[in-house]
Amino acid sequence: MMLRFGIIGCGAIAHAHAAAIAALPDATLAACCDCDVVKGRAFAKAAGAVAFYSDYHELLASNLDVVTIATPHFLHATMSIAALQAGKAVLCEKPLAMTPAEGRAVLAVAAKFPGKYAVIFQNRFAPSLVAAKRLLASGRLGKVTGIKATLTWHRDAAYYQAAAWKGQWATEGGGVLINQAIHTLDALCFLGGHPRRVRGQVMTALLAGAVEVEDAAMATAVLPGGVPAVIFATNDYARDDPATLTFACSGGELTVTNAGLWLDGVVQEARTIAVAKDQKAAWGDGHQRLFAAFVHRLTGEADPLVGYLAGADALVPLTLLNGIYQSSRSGAWVTLTE
Ligand SMILES: NC(=O)c1ccc[n+]([C@@H]2O[C@H](COP(=O)([O-])OP(=O)(O)OC[C@H]3O[C@@H](n4cnc5c(N)ncnc54)[C@H](O)[C@@H]3O)[C@@H](O)[C@H]2O)c1
């Protein structure tokens, strides 16, 4: 069975989507869409003269099985709902939506189309995270007593000037938390459990004047069993260091990044992430593994990583980061409900 894919939004990450589709034997890229006609046509040509649409409704009316959504955050909810209702399977880039309320609206529609919707959290498919998930579930490390999540990246004013939707609350929905650190927050919740409450603070430091949104954040979340998770994220650093999760456990310490896993400081699993020349190392090669798992779910083929696809649980990191924004405004703890 050959699945026909369409991509909505032909910007930076769309290249990773096209590469992931090209690598799958049972998938083909049949169409793409961008409201920027010049950019969209160039993308369509580079992808092998696939059909091009400037209006996504026209793409949704065409003969496609799967639609991937790679547009600005404020469009994710509307486009996901429209694509599902048009009968397409949907792979949407993170975040699920800009707010938990919008996210719940998407999930209510997705629930009517079982197996046909997933949010792209490709880092879940990194072999190091897969190994961490299995190790934590095995109980070998004993009880988790605390978790540390850090992301220290570099996004300067030029990065924000290059895409008008970034840096604005109305179109990006936040800054470092909703765009960059959301992968780390997702991994924290996927590996450590769903936070019950959070107290946090955000600020705009080096990017003040260039963006409306936060460029730095710190928070303490409380997980089931009272386990504290401390979170630090900033776009003000000199470079993109590997985002890191550390689990302090009664039987040892586990540290995991996209590229490695360490037990008590000793490397257990390490790899070099293969990255195409126009992609950022931080994105890793997880799109390919994730797209394969989604296709296998649609075609009914066995795939050990199908359970790593984010669906309804994509709401958890969104609820967490939204709680940090709320807490920063109120100065109080925020109770998190899904
Ligand atoms: N998974 C990851 O690691 C990862 C990495 C980068 C970006 N992303 C996500 O991918 C999405 C896109 O990010 P990007 O960096 O590629 O942004 P981008 O600005 O480079 O690309 C977005 C594209 O969407 C197009 N677009 C805007 N409105 C549209 C509309 N109404 N119809 C059709 N096309 C429209 C724009 O013209 C642009 O080409 C965001 O959700 C972002 O968070 C994910």
User: Ligand 1 centroid vs 17 CA: distance in angstroms?
Assistant: 11
Query: Dihedral of the CA atoms 293, 294, 295, 298 (nearest 10)?
Result: 120
How big is the chain, counted in residues? 338
pLDDT, residue 174, reads 98
User: Ligand 1 centroid vs 69 CA: distance in angstroms?
Assistant: 8
CA-proximal residue: ligand 1, atom 40 (nearest): 72
pLDDT, residue 273, reads 67
194-222: per-residue pLDDT in tens? 999 999 999 999 999 999 999 999 999 99
Q: What's the rounded Cα separation, in Å, for the pair 4 and 60?
A: 12
Residue 283 confidence (pLDDT) above 60: no
Q: Which atom of ligand 1 is nearest to the CA of 71?
A: 24
284-314: per-residue pLDDT in tens? 679 999 999 999 999 999 999 999 999 999 9
Q: Which atom of ligand 1 is nearest to the CA of 40?
A: 39
Taking the model in full, what pTM does it have?
A: 0.97
Name residues contacting ligand 1 (CB within 6 A): 8-13, 33-36, 39, 56, 70-73, 75, 93-94, 120, 122, 163, 179, 283
Triad 50, 52, 55: Cα angle to 5°: 150
Selected residue with higher pLDDT from 286 and 8: 8
- 13-17, 80-84, 272-276: least confident range: 272-276
CA-proximal residue: ligand 1, atom 11 (nearest): 70
Residue 121 Cα to chain centre, angstroms: 4
Separation in Å, CA 229 to CA 25, 118, 217, 220, 284: 41, 26, 14, 6, 25
pLDDT, residue 270, reads 84
User: Ligand 1 centroid vs 8 CA: distance in angstroms?
Assistant: 8
pLDDT, residue 269, reads 84
Q: What's the rounded Cα separation, in Å, for the pair 133 and 282?
A: 20
| 79-118 as b/e: b if 16+ CB within 10 A | bbbbbbebebbbbbbbbbbbbbebbbbbbebbeeeeebbb
